[in-house]
Amino acid sequence: MCGIAGYVGKRNAMVVLYDMLKRLEYRGYDSAGIAVIAENEIVFVKDRGKVSNLKKRILNMKISSNIGIAHTRWATHGIPSSKNAHPHSDCSGEITIVHNGIIENYRELKQELIERGHKFTSETDTEVIPHLIEELYKRNRDIESAFVSAIKKLRGSFAIAVINKHDDKILIARRESPLIVGLGNGENFIASDMPAILPNTKRIIILNDFEYGIISKDSVVIRDLTSQEIIEKEIQRIELSLEEAEKGGYRHFMLKEIFEEPDAIRNALRSIDDIKRISEKLKRYERIYFVACGTASYAALYAKYLLERFGIPSEAIIGSEFRYSTVNVINDKCAVVLISQSGETVDTIASAREAKRRKAYVVSVVNVVGSSLTRISDDTIYIFSGPEIAVASTKAYIGQLTSLALLCLNLAFNLRKIDDDYINEMIHSIEKLPEKVEDVLKKREEIENLAKKLKDRRIFFYIGRRFNYPTALEGALKIKEISYVHAEAYPAGEMKHGPLALLEKGVTVIAIKPNDDIMEKMESNIEEARARNADVIVVSEDGDIRVPVVDPILSPILYIVPLHLLAYYISTIKGLDPDKPRNLAKSVTVE
SS (H, E, C) 417-446: CCCHHHHHHHHHHHHHHHHHHHHHHCCHHH
Phi, psi of 466, deg, nearest 5: 50, -120
CA distance linking residue 271 with residue 321, whole number of Å: 29
The helix or strand, by DSSP H or E, that contains position 479, with its residue range, turns out to be helix 469-483
CA distance linking residue 284 with residue 25, whole number of Å: 44
Helical packing angle, 469-483 and 555-573, nearest 10°: 20
Q: Which of 328, 295, 299 is nearest to 477 (CA)?
A: 295
408 as an active site residue: the answer is: no
DSSP, collapsed to helix, strand or coil, labels residue 234 as coil
CA distance linking residue 458 with residue 529, whole number of Å: 17
Catalytic residue among 202, 233, 281, 586: 586
Pairing of strands 31-38, 41-48: antiparallel
Phi, psi of 185, deg, nearest 5: -105, 100
- Apex 474 CA angle, 516 and 541, nearest 5: 30
CA distance linking residue 545 with residue 541, whole number of Å: 8
Catalytic residue among 2, 293, 334, 408: 2
Sheet holding 88-89, edge to edge: 88-89, 95-103, 156-164, 170-175, 211-215, 220-224
CA distance linking residue 285 with residue 290, whole number of Å: 13
DSSP secondary structure code for residue 358 in this structure: T
- For the stretch 560-563, contacts whose Cβ atoms lie closer than 8 Å and that sit 24 or more positions apart, written own/partner, are 560/397, 560/398, 560/401, 560/471, 560/474, 560/475, 561/258, 561/261, 561/398, 561/437, 561/440, 561/441, 562/440, 562/443, 562/447, 563/462, 563/471, 563/474, 563/475, 563/478, 563/510, 563/539
Residue 579's Cβ-count burial label (10 Å; 0-12, 13-18, 19+) is buried
Provide the CB-side half-sphere exposure for 159 (13 A, CA).
Answer: 24
Active site residues: 2, 586
